[in-house]
Amino acid sequence: MTDLLQQLNDVQRKAVQTTSGPVMVLAGAGSGKTRVITYRIAYLIEHERVAPHQILALTFTNKAAREMRDRIDDLLYPGSTRGLWIGTFHSIFARLLRNYIHLIGYTSNFSIYDADDSKSLIKQVMKELGISTDSVPVNTVQGIISRAKNSFIMPAEFQRDASDYNQQKAAKVYEVYARKLRENNALDFDDLLIKPLELFDKSPELLESLQDYFRYILIDEYQDTNRAQYLVAKRLAAKHRNIFVVGDDAQSIYSWRGADITNILNFQDDYQDTAVFKLVENYRSTRTILRAANGVISRNRRQIEKELVSHRDDGEPLFLLESFNEKREADKVGEHIQSLKMLHGYDYRQMAVFYRTNAQSRVMEDVLRIHRIPYRIFGSVSFYKRKEIKDAVAYLRFIVNDQDSESLLRIINFPPRKIGQASIVKLREYADARGVSLYEAIRNAPDGGFQTRLLNALKGFVSMIEQLKMIAEEGTVYDVLSNLYELSGITSLLQAENTPESLTRYENLQELLSMARDFSDHNQGANGLNEFLNDISLATDYDETPESENYVSLMTVHAAKGLEFPVVFITGLEEKLFPLNCYEPEELEEERRLFYVALTRAEERLFLSWSKSRYHYGQPQVCMRSSFVDEIDSEIVMTEGGRSLSDAPLRQRDDGGGYAGRFNGRPAVPEAVRGRGGSAPAASSESDGLRKGVRVHHAMFGPGEVLSVQGRGEQRKARIRFRTAGEKTLMVQYAKLNIVS
């Protein structure tokens, strides 16, 4: 082990060897954070003689967990990680809950609902409560409930503090939704994080036992933890305080899904004797790329200061692409990709195109197809979200947990059994009247006076399910799934249909069967189907990404986090696009962190691209170059004219959206555009008609009503209740509000 530690730099080595008490490793981009975690675990096992089961390592992706486990086995010996608790927050807590959830009134065969299952149940609850999806969209309600859970806010507390219309409606749904989850013996993804806290409150003895069991806790990507994850980790570490967190506040980019940057910023307040190690030696990018990244992120006020240094040479300057519109922007990116391949020998797989929003991919796709450039979009529909896969998985869930009415409703008439919606309504009424589950009502349907045709269909369904349950008790996951295909006739129906779509679905189901066979071969013993379903529920898109194909990668910057490419194109660098509609300092700082992440994905060459005009909601819009470009030292940015940006003609810089092209914080609109029906945006003033009660429209948030207007001049703010987005406080000069009445 001593020899292995020689492979670490001084700071990494000290972090690995500091095994007692709280430790925070601030790992800048490309500085070897995964290496530090894996070496620390290996060091604990080999040098400190810590039993693997006493180590709990929490990650955010299954891929990261597998990579760490493999690296540790390579460092020590094959099988050295046996007994080690390493995995995602969700998978680890799901495993714990299988053992202890009976203490809070569930049974161990609970179902795990994914986002679609959750949405279906929420929609049902809204219908029962008479809440129209026109007034509050299902997605909005689902998002509000999810954020509440991630913040560990329970239904009663949330209902008490609900402030606006959407929250008040969501609060009513939240209460019933939570009750129905319990009735279905089911948890959603957020429950996997908050139910352990309920367990700890219910059983302090269990908490103390787990504290002694997990004496060493390690957390990867700590800047991405939410409130619930923070609380679970803090309570588990409270006794022995051997908590080791690795993260980078400069890469905290997930507040929209509950991540709380204050967890890492305030870590030293929680543990005042924290040993802090800053990893700033970057092994990925050239000095020029890091110079750009350091210059950008230094503008943020809320941060732990550090500056990355490179072990590489200066490399190429950054290259700025300026285009008339998004079509020409995509053309230029395609041309440079071809040039890099032909003249500099890069493979397609070494290049990536980033964009801020998914909608930007469409034009890029069209152009890359024209150029015959192979590409892959990251973030498309994943294998597990395809309809045929979700149908098969719903069968498996129901076989394990016949109280799961959501899965039952998905499969009861698939393949078609002539069990219509009207019959299902009657069956649910029959179940409710007798206080039993829907499946129990179906089994007792002969006593309910239903029509013979329906009874025959239900009898066949029950017979199939009971056969599959018996197979599941003694057989493997493969046995269950292969018999499901045969008994249900799913695959034979798809073959008989014989269309390209049906055959693709058939092939997908065969792939699921192959997965079941592989799982069965490597997971002998009881409860295999539950574990198989856990794996499916917690699978991520990136775990399925092929690594051998030669294609250009297209993705949002969020999807790019954790990846690296020799060549990176960052497109759409325009105000209101990247940064994206920021109205508060915290939002702008997160956008800047996102840009920092984009910059630091590049190893050798980095292209920055923006367009002077772009279609937005079907209308051409004049664009202003992103202020983030101006935050990079202009001496290291090369224009298409072959000059550094600092030497570019003034007219070019103004035309590119520099401050000379701004009008009260907005882009100046050329006369030619106004002549085609466009109009220059008006400057904000106190006489613009914006006042309490006025109805307005916003390009992103839609229609809304002004609640109040405060401040003067550039500091003028409007608080607005939007129909679908809830209450927002916007800076008037940037909001581009259209007064409706």
69, 397, 601, 716: which is the annotated catalytic residue?
Answer: 601
Distance CA 24, CA 143 (A): 31
Torsions phi, psi for 724 (to 5 deg)? -110, -20
Q: Which of 167, 251, 360, 733 is catalytic?
A: 251
CA distance 216 to 447: 57
Q: Is 27 annotated as a binding residue?
A: yes
* DSSP conformation class of 668: P
Rounded Cα–Cα distance for residues 631 and 640 (Å)? 19
For 639, residues 6+ apart whose C-beta sits below 8 A from its C-beta are 320, 322, 645, 648, 652
Q: Is 29 annotated as a binding residue?
A: yes
Q: Residue 209: CB partners within 8 Å, gap ≥ 6?
A: none
Q: CB-based contacts of 574: which residues, under 8 Å, 6+ apart? A: 610, 611, 614, 623, 624, 625, 626, 657
- Residue 33 annotated as part of some ligand binding site: yes
Q: How many CA atoms lie within 13 A of 289 on its CB side?
A: 34
Query: Parallel, antiparallel, or unpaired for β 717-722 and 726-731?
Result: antiparallel
| Bridge partners, 605 (sequence order) | 567
- Helix, strand, coil percentages (3-state) for the chain, rounded to 5, are 50, 15, 30
**Cis peptide leading into residue 579 (ω within 30°):** yes
Assign 128 to helix, strand or coil.
helix
Question: Taking the CB of residue 741, how many other CB atoms lie within 10 A of it?
Answer: 7
Could you write out the three-class secondary structure of 216-232? EEEECCHHHCCHHHHHH
State the Cα–Cα distance between residues 328 and 197, nearest whole angstrom: 53
Find tokens 């939007």 and name the residue. 722
SS3 542: helix
Active site residue 491: no
Structure token pair of residue 166: 């959407």
Known catalytic residue: 33?
yes
* Beta-bridge partner residues of 340: none
Within 8 A by CB and 6+ apart from 559, the residues are 378, 379
Burial of 642 (0-12, 13-18, 19+ CB in 10 A): exposed
Residue listed under structure tokens 């954790």: 562
Residue 719, exposed/middle/buried by CB under 10 A (0-12, 13-18, 19+)? middle
The neighbouring-strand residues paired with 241 are none
Of 33, 147, 625, 666, the active-site residue reads: 33
Catalytic member of 220, 406, 603, 604? 220
The answer to whether 34 is a known catalytic residue is yes
Establish whether 668 is an annotated binding residue: no
List of residues 6+ apart from 11 with CB closer than 8 A: 277, 278, 279, 281
Residue owning tokens 């940037």 = 734
Task: Spot the catalytic one: 191, 221, 329, 479.
Answer: 221
**Residue 80: strand, helix, or coil:** coil
Sheet of 243-247: strand order equals 85-88, 55-59, 216-219, 243-247, 23-27, 275-279
Q: How many CA atoms lie within 13 A of 249 on its CB side?
A: 22
Catalytic residue among 34, 124, 262, 724: 34
711 annotated among ligand-binding-site residues = no
238 annotated to a ligand binding site: no
Assess contact for 578 and 625: CB atoms under 8 A.
no
Asked whether the beta carbons of 206 and 100 are under 8 A apart, the reply is yes
Please report the DSSP string for 671-715 in residue order. Answer: HHHHHTT--PPPPP-TTSS--TT-EEEETTTEEEEEEEEE--GGG
Q: Is 178 within any annotated ligand binding site?
A: no
| Residue 31 assigned to a binding site | yes
CA dihedral angle for residue 187, residue 190, residue 195, residue 198, rounded to 10 degrees: -130
Residue from 645, 606, 643 nearest 288 by CA: 606
Residues with active-site annotation? 33-34, 220-221, 251, 601
Annotated binding site for ATP, which residues? 27-34
Annotated binding site, which residues? 27-34
